[in-house]
Amino acid sequence: MTDMQTEYRDGNDFIVEVIRTDRRKTADIRVEDGAVSIIVPRHIATEKIDQLLISKRKWIKEKILLQRDLSPTSHKEFLSGESFPYLGRNYRLKVEKGNFCPVKLVEGRLLVTVPLGSEQPHMIRNALVRWYKKQAQQKMHEKVKRFAPIVGVEPKGVEIKFFKSRWGSCTVNGKLEFNWMILMAPNRMVDYVVKHELCHLIHHDHSPEFWKEVARVMPDYQECREWLRVNGMKLRV
């Protein structure tokens, strides 16, 4: 698998993540949960990327606004001092003005640097979404690798997605999909979601046999299931 290089472009009211790769010969623009990315051939000129973004600006803005309307309700204002949970611990947001930089966890604070303007709160949210997704990519792969032998299964892959009303999914071809927002829950709840989906590789339903399998690998699963039922709607960016 070829390494991908990441950079960012200011799209004027939105930030675009540029992903250069040897595996593409054409450009592909994506808008996912309000965050814009463009996947391009490794050696394409930056000027060409900017031209593509200008030509697609109307379409990108329409997608961003549509997804903003569909995203879960959040009462955050995205101001310095607000707290955001990560694996059950709260971290304070620190906003700095400047050219966009990916979120960094520095001295217990989530540091985000974005341009000043009317779209700043949305840029901050998108920066946080990108950060949670990147953490989810790493953490969920690690947990699947650790727990799959305990469950006794071999998943076909792991993907991070946004689900409106569930934490994970197991596809018919054996791939596990996880909602990136689960990273806002305590670590034990994340473990439960991973084990839950791994058990679906044995029983692709919620039969008594499935729950017996979950109980075998996680005897206290009911506490985790109840915690998510009660607190899950609070896990929002």
Is residue 23 helix, strand or coil? coil
Closest Cα to residue 64, out of 40, 30, 38, 98? 30
Phi, psi values for residue 121, rounded to 5°? -55, -40
Q: What is the pLDDT of residues 95-128, one digit of tens each?
A: 999 988 899 999 999 999 998 887 888 889 989 9
Q: What is the pLDDT of residues 25-44, one digit of tens each?
A: 899 999 988 889 999 999 99
Kindly report the number of other CB atoms within 10 A of residue 76's CB atom. Answer: 15
Q: What is the pLDDT of residues 47-104, one digit of tens each?
A: 999 999 999 999 999 998 888 777 766 778 999 999 999 998 999 999 999 988 899 9
Residue 9 has pLDDT above 80, yes or no: yes
Instruction: Give the per-residue pLDDT at 38.
Output: 94
Residue 4 has pLDDT above 60, yes or no: no
**CATH T-level assignment (fold) for domain 135-234:** Zincin-like (3.30.2010)
Q: How many residues does the chain have?
A: 237
Separation of alpha carbons 70 and 112, rounded Å = 24
Q: 202-217: buried (b, 16+ CB within 10 Å) or exposed (e) per residue?
A: ebeeeeeebbebbeeb
Average pLDDT over residues 141-158: 97
Is residue 186 helix, strand or coil? coil
Residue tagged 């700043």 (tokens):
120
Q: What is the pLDDT of residues 190-229, one digit of tens each?
A: 999 999 999 999 999 999 999 999 999 999 999 999 999 9
Please indicate, yes or no, whether the overall pTM of this predicted structure exceeds 0.75: yes
Alpha helices, H only, 100-201: 120-151, 187-199
Instruction: Give the per-residue pLDDT at 163.
Output: 87
Residue 2 has pLDDT above 70, yes or no: no
| Residue 132: band (very low, low, confident or very high) from pLDDT cuts 50, 70, 90 | very high
Instruction: Give the per-residue pLDDT at 73.
Output: 63
What residues have CB less than 8 Å from 176, skipping those under 6 apart?
140, 144, 155, 157, 158, 159, 168, 169, 170, 194, 197, 198
Kindly report the number of other CB atoms within 10 A of residue 127's CB atom. Answer: 24
Parse the chain into domains and list their residue ranges.
Answer: 5-70, 83-131, 135-234
Work out the mean pLDDT of the chain and round it to a whole number. Answer: 92
Is residue 63 helix, strand or coil? helix
